[in-house]
A and B are shown apart, each in its own frame.
Chain A
Amino acid sequence: MNASGSWAARRLLLGLAQTVAVVLLVFVLTEALPGDAAVSFAGDQPDPESIAAVRASMGLDRPAHERLAAWAWGLLHGDLGTSLTSGRPVTAFLADGFGPTLLLTGLTVVLLVPAGVGLGVFAARHEGRPADRLVSAVLLAVYAIPEFALGVLLVTVFALRLGWLPPTALGYGTDLLAHPAALVLPVLVLLARPVCSLARLIRAGMTDALAAPHTAQAQRYGVSGARLRYAHALPVALTPAAQQLARTVDWLLCGVVVVEALFVIPGLGTVLMNAVADRDIPVIQGLAVVFGLTTVLVNLGADLVTHRFAPRAEVAA
């Protein structure tokens, strides 16, 4: 417990350092982008006098290190700052976008684990046989389709041709649960690729484990087939799968930009796109903190799972 606790603490500290690094990097990169919020605002009417006025009133004329320091100071007090473009608190932006993204992510993960594990186990059980080859071929094919293309395809077939589902969530706002039909296609698009990679990993891990000498030994001792598969082989396969799942959750939370744009779901991906386009640095930084923390926490969770299943693997980071 103690050893494990200090391992977790070290892991957490590392995560914090990573978050700070991400935030600094974001700040530096945003500074390096051409133009700033004032130029962005001026758009096609770049009257130098107005740009200067906007810059001054946004505080953009202050040196970068001063702005970073002020922001970091606020952060330590739980204040993420104020949006440059709207004057609303950054936390309000994040709260607005978080719900839809979390809903999409949650639904996807809930469906992803049984689907991915089930398909992987199924393929492993039929290794080399037509069923395995069919599943593997389909998974590879689906994995190769970019989200945008898949989304357009699904919308065309199921929403516009067949009329079974709404093509977008336009006008539903954050109240997506009241319109569950609008969630089907986005979740399908989000599921498509992670299911493929997860199932492939599970299949590979299980076939390896089932072919390993210790499995053969267990079989000789008379352990039943189902027990072998689920108690012995599956946990070994789950170790890389947990890591993969963590990466997937990052990916889902930190954007789903394409899916949100295509289906008009006002989540964090949309907030991020708008903030980058507006050069709204406080919002971008706030999102970087949230994404950074999420990534760190999810990976920490995955590492703990891995630590539990394969304690000798020493996967500290």
Chain B
Amino acid sequence: MTDPDLPQPNPFPGLRRRGFLAAGGAAGIGALALTGCSGTSGPDDGSTGGGARAPRSGGRLRAAFAGGGASETLDPHLGNLFADAARGKALFDKLADYGPDLAAVPRLAERWEPDAGLDRWTVTLRKAEFHDGRPVTAADVLYSYRRMADPRKAYRARASLEPVDLDASRAVGARTVRFVLKRPTAEFPNVMAAFGTYIVPEGAEEFDRRPVGSGPFAFVSFTPGRTTLLRRNDAYWDGAPHLDELEFVVANDESARTNALLGGQIEYAHELSPTTGRAHEGSGAVEIIRLRNSAMQAFAMKTDRPPFDDPRVREAFFHLADRQELVDGALSGAGEIGNDLFGKGYEYYAGGLPQREQDIGRARSLLREAGAEDLEVTLDTSAVAAGFTEAAGIFRDQAARAGVTVHVRPGSKDSYWKDILDSGTLCCYRSGAMPIETHISQRLLTGSTTNATHWRDKDFDALYQQAQSTRDKQDRAALYARMQRRLHAEGGFLVWGFGDWIIGTARSVHGVERDAPANTLDWARFDKVWLA
């Protein structure tokens, strides 16, 4: 591991926890990236405000997010929260980012080209400048990736960069990087788009005083936990933003964000509750924007221990759930039902599989076959995410109809994700948007670090490796479909729904993308937004 020798005044200038989990899951998730799907400054079809009107230049947009308090930092590699991701996106760029279907789209990387073995990738950077006028070079990219991968630190992107052999990777020109991977990785662009993989200037270590990025906005001022003021970067490679200034303010309380929006103190409020959304939808006072498909909601069964080591019991549980009732009750209706697979509507999603319905009779007979009548299980839950405790209660009642006794066990909010990783048999689970490939590699392979269902299957691992060595996209899609059929039939995730991410904006705000699950390029993207 050749880490650059950097001064390290303090190894964790900014760990924070709150809020990031909405997006939940592994490294891929927190990433709410923003750009549009195409990387060009496109018109705002399907976005708020009159799409017909031409963007207007000028003004300051104030956007409120839940934040991390006084320990916040602008270090883009330390970000964990939605607020961090949004600020990171305004100030910095990644090589790639996720489109609305979670496929990687080029950003700072103009193009990428694998060699025949899929384990050498040549990435060409576009012509772009940092805010101080220096060009973005291959050296900056390698420096940034090595910084994120530092094993002595715990940058969130480190797990995502695991496939990359950074010791062997080289700059082969001012704007060309040759990445060497440890194994064939057909989905390498997902690594470049992963959460927190921002490119910073070579040698940059200190970000809170004067962070320099290549993003659409440049730094003006920052007070941790309170406000971050940015101004337009006229030289932005993707076209200068319409706004003169962008201010991020922090309000952890949802009702405070709503009140500030209604009272005209801010123009953009992130993360509103379904109740707020319903109350103000169509009221004319503010605009409510629902980012569909942003948070997967599931129950995770540990597939390596009784009773769920029997696939018939898992299948019986799939039939126990009345998904619409769960969506209506636990998500207050703000979402859509799931089909026991992650990533509804994303690239490679196996949308052709029949929608699972509640079938108590089928569940009963499967349990009888498995010799598991009068089954009793404990369902771990916690107030760590909205709707978890409600979902547990609803599922308990649904399971009772088939004679299954579910004991709901509420756990600690602060250590929940660690607690459920290896203990218990059944738990509430959720995840933010990420590519299906990332979901598989981080949660469903034998070596995955956050394998909450303990799904460890050699054939499944082999299918994944095969997909990663498959150059042809159609063939790869077929392999993903096979993996998903397997998971749909006997996996450990009972995916019952996908929650909306609700945003409120003032009527004067235009150009906010609606087709942008949290964690994608167009989510919280302010360079295409204008005030009128």
Contact = CB atoms under 8 A, between A and B. Distances in A.
Contacts, number: 187
A136 interface: no
Given A96-B70, A278-B16, A86 B9 contact: no
Interface of B: 9-18, 20-21, 24-27, 62, 64, 68-73, 80, 151-154, 156, 158-159, 223-227, 247, 249-253, 255-256, 259-260, 262-263, 265-266, 412, 414-415, 417-419, 421, 431, 449-450
A44 B421 CA distance: 9
Interface in A131-152: 152
Interface string A46-66: 111111011001100000000
B265 A170 contact: yes
Shortest beta-carbon contacts, A-B, top 7: A274-B69, A87-B10, A35-B415, A86-B71, A167-B263, A46-B418, A167-B259
Nearest to A43: B17
A170 B64 contact: yes
Contacts of B62: 171
Interface of A: 33-35, 37, 39-51, 53-54, 57-58, 82-88, 93, 96-97, 152, 155, 159-160, 163, 166-168, 170-171, 173-174, 261-264, 266, 270-271, 273-275, 277-280
Contacts of B151: 53
Contact of A171 (B153, B154, B249): B249
29 contacts: A35-B415, A40-B415, A44-B24, A45-B25, A45-B27, A45-B449, A53-B151, A54-B154, A57-B11, A58-B11, A58-B12, A85-B12, A85-B14, A86-B73, A87-B9, A87-B13, A87-B14, A88-B70, A152-B255, A166-B265, A168-B256, A168-B260, A171-B62, A262-B253, A266-B225, A274-B18, A277-B414, A278-B16, A280-B71
Tell which of B21, B225, B252, B259 has the most Cβ of chain A within 10 Å: B259
Nearest to A170: B260
B265 to A, nearest CB: 5
Given A34-B412, A171-B247, A85 B16 contact: yes
Contact of A262 (B9, B224, B255): B255
B16 A170 contact: no
A86 B13 contact: yes
Nearest to B385: A44
B256 A35 contact: no
Contact of B414 (A34, A50, A54, A264): A34
A103 to B, nearest CB: 15
A265 to B, nearest CB: 10
B253 A274 contact: no
Contacts of A37: 15
Contacts of B225: 96, 266, 270, 274
Contacts of A174: 226
Contact of B223 (A47, A49, A54, A173): A173
A168 B263 contact: yes
A84 B27 contact: no
Contact of A278 (B71, B153, B255, B259): B71
Contacts of B263: 159-160, 163, 166-168
A314 to B, nearest CB: 44
B17 A86 contact: no
